[in-house]
Structure 1
Amino acid sequence: MVQCVSKVTPEKIVEVDDVLDKFSIYRVYHLRVMALTMLAFASNTMYCSNYVFAAENVDYRCIEPYNNMSHCASNASACAEWEYDDPNSFVAEFGLACQDWKRTLVGTVHSFGYMVGLLIVGPISDRLGRKPAVVITGVLGGLFGLLRSFSVWYWFYIAMEFLESALGDICSPTYVLTMEIVSAKNKLIFYLYCSLGYSFGGVILAVVAYLVPYWRTFLRVLYTPAFLFFFYTFLLDESPRWLLIRGKKDKAIKILEKAAKNNKKTLDKSTLEKLSCQETKNIKFLAILGETFKSSTLRLRFFVCLVWWTTSTFVNYGMVINSVSLQGNKYVNFALTSLVDIPGNFLITYILIHFNRKLPLITSFVVGALLCLTQPFVPTDMPWLSITVYMVGKLVSSFYFNITYLYTLELFPTYTRNSMHALCSSLGRIGSILAPQTPLLLPIWSGLPSVVFGLTALFAGLVTLLVPDISNDALPDTVREAEALGKSKAAKSQGIHNEGFDSSQL
């Protein structure tokens, strides 16, 4: 068994990035991982957005009123019997006439459950491993989603919606695994291909909704295949980075050798035995997380990342809620909304490859802010221009959302990376909770929501100045390596690089 050595001389250190750098992402091993990841991301899109079709709005009317008072503005109980345009709809089967808040609550509960779930799934991923977290969340998502389809009680449906988003979201651990299984120079392009799964998931969701209009059958068709994620236990490998920082160097080497064999490459055994290994398996999780927050540098980064996430969720969801509904076929429109992300993803990936992280993020925040601040002042007799400015602002907001997702991941050390990413993402969902309230600003001034979005994005752009820039730096494994990000190479080599996690300090 290969032993883990936490401190070795710099001459003998071999970083896992040096080994991963030898692999091409276009060979068998990484192409298989890419395909499995795309399926996971596709399911994430379908599960996060299916309530749009499952709990869609349906017109209804009172056919047996009491005392000629059957309007919802009066009293929902003023009607003895309601007639629904679609008697088999979610609204009709749960009798939600004049209770539209119960229909929209489905989406709100899903967002809240996702916020809570990130605080659960992140630690599970850091403690048990990326692969177990992927399998557990994938299967649980299918279970709770399928149970929803059999619900005969509205509040049971809501409870299952919450549990599915809290315990069954596969996105977070899959994303971290995707970033950790390739070298720093390949992670952007590798994730670009994997992220196409989100767009494919949106298209599949629209097609299934069109072919299977009955909401119960619709949910069963979507969620039953999720049980196949159990087979990821055999099809997917653990992150070598996670194994190394957990002291499981022998298992990490086996995975790297397997990847080399699949890709028809030969790795030097002596090189693998010199892999840098920072063992933390005997340290309590809260103590490790506490070590991250002991660093004033990482505490500042946490605050900045929290601003990024809150702004991204607030502006993105807020602009969707306040935008004018598109005319035409709803299924086609939904599919196109997903497909337009594909060229956008290629564009933002190209920008990140050539312009690092900091400048693109600041630029997208500032440009998005200016577009939001400008939109209310566009002449009302030029609706095409107003819509164009609004939609370009929405596109730019998706740019800084994507950069935020990646940038946050790169700023923290391996042993708390998923937890810190999940914590920032979870608390940042406050933005998506506040976003539905922005229409309340419309009576004050129709342009006020856009102005609020713009000022929020401008503030996020300014606080970005407080974090270091990142290009092709290797992902930091320890607190000291994370603190050294953005510093000169000379500074990194002065006793900082690979000193590891010192459990004696706890």
Structure 2
Amino acid sequence: MVNVVYLAGVAVGATVGGLAADYIGRKWVSFIACLVHGVGGLGAALSPNYGAYVAFRFFVGSCHGILNNSVVVLSMEFVSPRRRMVSVCTLAMSWGIGMVLTTPVSYLIRDWRYLQLTVALPPFLYLGFWRLIPESPRWLLSRGRYAEAEDIVRWAARVNKRAIPEVGQLFDEHSLKMTPSLSPLKILHAPRLMARTAVIICGWITVAISWYGLTLNQGSLDGDIFINAFVLSVIDLIAYASLFIVNKLGRRKAYCVAMMISALSMLATIPVHFLADRESPSTSAVFTALYTMGKLGVSSNFCLLFMWNGEFYPTALRNFGLGLGCTFGRVAAIVSPIVMDQFGEHPVLGNTVPLILFGCMALFCALSGLYLPETAHKHLPETLEDAQNFGVKRRKSGINQNYDENTPSTFEMAS
């Protein structure tokens, strides 16, 4: 019950937070969510009854969904394409390190109230970085706040020792034509962006239901639950770290390869179940290895989707686009405990039914992902027209000639 409510909160936060960040700003939404996250965690630790605990966990989950999207988008919008993956991977690795540390902390602190109190304190530390973290200059430009964006860009240029144009030449004509506000319904007028949205949503659903299903089901593996949890957390961390090579492979190739590895690993449990001696320790080791490889592919794509999803949306809808994909993913995550409970044990297929389902979904995503545009080393689209034509070869007509995904904007030159 608590897990379902928490994941429902994450889904709500991903949608509401995405819209709020596009209208209020990435920075403000991130810090407000961080404050509420900490307060909600303290409330959960001090809850007088089960109902209050569940309610506080919903608020914590909502803030989790908001922070996931707004912080990732903020980090993407402030750096150049060659540093975008490094920025997002660093954030993902901080999540992975937190997952790894959670296992020994939970082993040492067995009282749930003290454990909840311990994990509720770190969000308050983030509030101390208010003055160090600037607002996204891309978002400021999209809202017509050019002077503030210029101040941030010039500050970044000074810190990074980069040369940028003099006053009056800072923003090019295209950046000044960015739409200050854009309704999410405008996506309906961009059929290519809608199709890409549908494909990326399939990826979110597959990754989320597989990741949470495999994580929540790790107790079914042979061996000590703490050791298994620690090993799988380390696997997640390795998966996030491996994405540093994505800048060389490209987003699309890395996504499809990881999905294929995950699909083949999970589907390979079928012959192991039917052909191997189920009582043999070696069979258990092979099953655990395939289980781990399946989670490795899913985990790497979890990180990749956070960045890739936002890269082909216009600035005014980037947080909404990412939030939309996350929302579908979190809804799928809510279903994952039900899938594991209902199909975890089958009279013929044993505990491989969820893995077969996840494997088939990953196989579909590995093939459908070939339709998505390659965004590595490309500059983010600013307008809806840019997003609609992103990754499309230019022709003499029908394509916006003022936008070039290979030409850096001024604030990227300062990073």
**CA spacing shift, 1:453–1:336, aligned 2, 3 Å:** closer
Are positions 1:339 and 2:238 aligned together? no
Q: Is the 8 A contact 1:202 1:334 kept in 2?
A: no
Of the candidates 217, 235, 249, which is equivalent to residue 132 of structure 2? 235
**Residue 213 in 1 paired to residue 110 in 2?**
yes
Alpha-carbon offset, residue 488 of structure 1: 2.4
Contact 1:484 1:496 in 2 (8 A): no
8 Å CA contact 2:35–2:123 kept in 1: the answer is yes
Counterpart for residue 167 of structure 1: 63
1:110 alignment counterpart:
6
Change (3 A) 1:148 1:321: closer
Inter-partner Cα distance in structure 1 for 2:242 and 2:396:
34
Superposed displacement of residue 316, structure 1: 1.7
Query: Which aligned segments of 4 or more residues in structure 1 are displaced greater than 4 angstroms?
Result: 489-494
For residues 206 and 322 of structure 1, the distance between their equivalents in structure 2, rounded to whole angstroms, comes to: 16
Q: State the alpha-carbon separation in 2 of the partners of residues 477 and 466 from structure 1.
A: 21
Secondary structure of the structure 1 residue equivalent to 2:170: helix
User: What is the alpha-carbon distance in structure 2 between the residues aligned to residue 375 and residue 428 of structure 1?
Assistant: 25
Match of 1:253 among 147, 150, 153: 150
Q: 1:175 to 1:240 in 2, by over 3 A?
A: same
* Change in CA separation of 1:246 and 1:402 when aligned onto 2, cut-off 3 Å: same
Q: CA deviation at 1:337?
A: 3.4
Alignment of 1:295-444 (within 5 A): 295-323=190-218, 324-325=220-221, 327-328=223-224, 330=226, 333-350=228-245, 352-378=246-272, 379-381=275-277, 382-439=283-340, 440-441=342-343, 442-444=345-347
TM-superposition CA deviations, 1:463-488 (whole Å, max 9, x none): 22332233211011111111222222
Cα deviation per residue 1:383-408 (whole Å; 9 max; x = unaligned)?
32222222212211222323222221
Alignment of 1:134 onto 2:30: yes
Letter aligned with residue 188 of structure 1: M
**1:147 maps to which residue?**
43
Give percent identity, aligned residues only. 26
Q: Displacement of 1:265 after TM fit?
A: 3.7
Task: Name the structure where helix makes up a greater proportion of residues.
Answer: 2
Q: Select the structure with the greater relative contact order (CA < 8 A; seq sep ≥ 6).
A: 2
Pair 225,354 (structure 1): closer, same or farther in 2 beyond 3 Å = closer
The verdict on how the C-alpha distance between 1:132 and 1:469 changes in structure 2, with shifts beyond 3 A counting, is same
Instruction: Call closer, same or farther: CA 1:232–1:459 in 2, change over 3 Å.
Output: same
**What letter corresponds to residue 132 of structure 2 in structure 1?**
L
- Report the aligned-residue RMSD: 2.4
Unaligned runs of 5+ in 1: 1-104, 500-506
Equivalent in the alignment of 1:477 = 382
Q: 1:142 to 1:244 in 2, by over 3 A?
A: same
Structure-2 change in CA distance of 1:494 and 1:455 (3 Å): closer
2:57 partner SS: helix
Pair member with larger Rg: 1
- How many residues align structurally? 389
Is the Cα–Cα contact under 8 Å of residues 222 and 284 in structure 2 kept in the other structure?
Answer: no
Q: In structure 1, how many angstroms separate the alpha carbons of the residues matched to 2:375 and 2:69?
A: 21
Kept in 1: contact 2:19–2:319 (CA 8 A): yes
The answer to whether the 8 A contact 1:413-1:475 is kept is: yes
Code of the residue aligned with 2:176 in structure 1: it is C
Match for 1:385: what amino acid? V
User: 1:459 Cα deviation (Å)?
Assistant: 1.8
How has the CA–CA distance of structure 1 residues 492 and 163 changed in structure 2, closer, same or farther, with 3 Å as cutoff? farther
- The amino acid across from 2:204 in the alignment is W
The TM-score normalised by the length of structure 2 is 0.86
The answer to whether the 8 A contact 1:132-1:233 is kept is no
- For structure 2, the residue ranges without an aligned partner over 5 or more in a row are 278-282, 405-415
Matches for 1:3-152 after TM superposition, within 5 Å: 105-152=1-48
Q: Residue type matched to 1:217 in 2?
A: Y
User: What amino acid sits opposite 2:127 in the alignment?
Assistant: F
Which residue of the partner structure matches residue 408 of structure 2?
none
CA distance 1:492–1:125, change in 2 (3 Å): farther
**Structure 1 residues 389, 222: closer, same or farther in 2, change over 3 A?**
closer
- The C-alpha deviation readout for 1:294-318, integer Å capped at 9, x for no partner, is 2111111111111111111112222
Q: How many Å separate the matches in 2 of 1:455 and 1:340?
A: 22
Please report how far the alpha carbon of residue 209 of structure 1 lies from its aligned counterpart in structure 2 after TM superposition.
Answer: 3.1
Deviation at residue 262 of structure 1 after TM alignment: 2.2
CA-CA distance at 1:329 after TM superposition: 7.2
Q: Kindly tell me: are residues 491 and 197 of structure 1, through their superposed partners in 2, closer, same or farther at Cα, counting changes over 3 Å?
A: farther
Partners of 1:481 and 1:496 within 8 A in 2: no
- 1:120 is displaced (CA, Å) by 0.9
Distance 2:370 2:237 in 1: 29
Partner of 2:372: 467
